[in-house]
Amino acid sequence: MLAPANAKGIAFILMDSGIVLGTDEKGLPARLDLEELLSTRLLVQGNSGSGKSHLLRRLLEQSAGLVQQAIIDPEGDFVTLAERYGHIVVDANRTPNDLAKIANRIRHHRASVVLDLEGLDAEVQMRCAAAFLNGIFDADREAWYPMLVAVDEAQLFAPAGGGEISEEARRASLGAMTNLMCRGRKRGLAGIIATQRLAKLAKNVAAEASNFLMGRTFLDIDMARASDLLGMERRQAEAFRDLAPGQFVALGPALSRRPLRIKIGDVVTRGRSGRPELLPLPETPREDLEDLIFQPSPNDPEPAMPSQMVMPMRTTTDELIVQVETAGATAASEAKAEAQAIDAETLEAALDEIFAEILSEPEAAFRPEPVIYQDFQFHCRVKKLGAVAQDMATFRRRLALGRAGVSARDADDASWSQVLAVSENLPVEMQGVFLMLARSAGEEAPCPSDESLARAYGSHSPSRARWLLTYMENQGYILCETDFRGQRVVSFPGVGWRTAPSAPKAAQGQARASLQKRRA
């Protein structure tokens, strides 16, 4: 490291490794240490037009060949990195499950990507970013390679307040951003977040950054927060108003040990929306302009239909009810016609595929049933399965079978029919546990562990699983025994099924410790 001093004797640290962001006030290279950044994260702040996107582009271009990158791009400005540096552009117009799976593959294959959120409204952008970031965060340990995760306009994804966004979307996005900044380091993730205003960014997200690049800002509250983060006196905060576009004050272990003003260097690629520049007005005479404006042109868009320009008449309540009932009947008849066009075997195979996809999500066991049902309806509409998507009772039964690993074809067996008839006497939330035990008993497989039974019940608590077994035994549905080694065996008296002994408690303890370690 080099430590040049300015006229006041203050030493500035310049890294002898990493990338060059630009130059300092003396014209010396201003460097950023990538290895240090991977452990300490970066926050960039500046008003619109201060050069934040230019700074991010410079950082990403300089480090493109050194470390894997993922960019959350709400405006589609960074997709131009693809042609020059080989980034893969991921269109966010996908299901959350698809985005999570793509993000997981990205980590395993170490591909640099740009998540293009352009054209989506704010709430959809938040949901897509949350699914993508969670997919990156939840990757298996063997895929925890070093990765820069840059989030432009971070105040959209980690807002300080709720605004007009639904609480569910805000929590999902804020939780993903918090995981990135608070817990991402152990997984090799280095968060780089850029925001127009610190006051709009959630404090628990901003507080996790140890490196700062503060650009031009004018509001007192933003200048005060910037000066606090940089350890500057309040009277020095006014200096942020004097920064030119592309100038930033740098501080942090990956940048400088003392506040250092730097000028960001040039970039190779360009965004779609550059800095506005003045253009001379056309020198067309006024008469010609009038002809161009008032005379029709072959390139004119189609005019709006009269019905779109006339104010609609108010609809009475009775008329509205009739319209809703008619629309519902029409949709039901169309769905029934679609279902009748599918043979039974194809329908069962499609439903098995849908439930397998839904239940393959890591948190599927803990999602509320109405949310899973909405996801199921969406998949049914996509596959054009018809009215089956409207049958809540059938859905609950199939969900219980799916959680137990029992296919609809297995349920046609005589013994299974008897077991299913017995399960209907249990509360709906317990049927999945009962059927999971029945499947193991029917296959003479080892009795499921407490953790597996709790998951089928939608709980994280193994003690809740043991309570369920006690309850079902007291009601006469099953018979629980323990052999001399302390291994559990469950029997089904009505059909003569019996599980093999459960795994030894030592193995269960290891599995439980491994699960707790992954959650930590």
Token reading at 128: 């897509």
Please tell me the predicted confidence (pLDDT) of residue 150: 94
| Contacts for 263 with CB less than 8 Å, ≥ 6 apart | 22, 23, 24, 30, 246, 247
- Residue that is written with structure tokens 């307040």 in the block: 161
Please tell me the predicted confidence (pLDDT) of residue 20: 92
Question: Can you tell me the distance from the alpha carbon of 320 to that of 314, in angstroms, rounded to the nearest whole number?
Answer: 10
User: What is the enclosing helix (H) or strand (E) of 432?
Assistant: helix 428-442
- The partner residues of 45 in beta bridges, in order of sequence, read 195, 214
Please tell me the predicted confidence (pLDDT) of residue 209: 87
CA 9 from chain centre, in angstroms, equals 47
Task: State the Rg of the chain over Cα.
Answer: 30
Fold assignment, 413-520: Arc Repressor Mutant, subunit A (1.10.10)
First vs last C-alpha separation in the chain? 36
Please tell me the predicted confidence (pLDDT) of residue 412: 61
Q: What are phi and psi of 368, to 5 degrees?
A: -60, 145
CA dihedral for 161, 162, 167, 172, sign (positive or negative): negative
pTM over 0.85: no
**DSSP-assigned letter for residue 262:** E
What is the SS3 assignment for 115? strand
Does the domain spanning 19-264 belong to CATH 3.40.50.300? Answer: yes
User: What is the enclosing helix (H) or strand (E) of 57?
Assistant: helix 52-63
**DSSP-assigned letter for residue 210:** -
Q: Could you tell me how many residues make up the chain?
A: 520
Determine how β-strand 42-45 pairs with β-strand 211-214. parallel
The angle that helices 167-178 and 122-137 make with each other, rounded to 10 degrees, is 40
| Contacts for 315 with CB less than 8 Å, ≥ 6 apart | 323
Determine how β-strand 256-264 pairs with β-strand 189-195. unpaired
Asked whether the domain spanning 413-520 has the same topology as the one spanning 19-264, the reply is no
Chunked mean pLDDT (size 10), the chain, 520 residues: 38 54 90 89 87 91 91 91 90 85 89 90 91 92 91 90 81 92 90 87 86 82 70 68 85 88 90 67 77 73 46 47 50 52 71 75 64 71 62 68 65 74 81 84 88 80 86 88 82 86 58 47
Question: Can you tell me the distance from the alpha carbon of 36 to that of 19, in angstroms, rounded to the nearest whole number?
Answer: 12
Please tell me the predicted confidence (pLDDT) of residue 304: 45
Taking a C-beta distance cutoff of 8 angstroms, is the pair 284, 71 a contact? Answer: no
- Ordered by start, the domain boundaries in the chain are 19-264, 338-390, 413-520
Question: Can you tell me the distance from the alpha carbon of 76 to that of 53, in angstroms, rounded to the nearest whole number?
Answer: 11
Question: Can you tell me the distance from the alpha carbon of 268 to that of 16, in angstroms, rounded to the nearest whole number?
Answer: 23
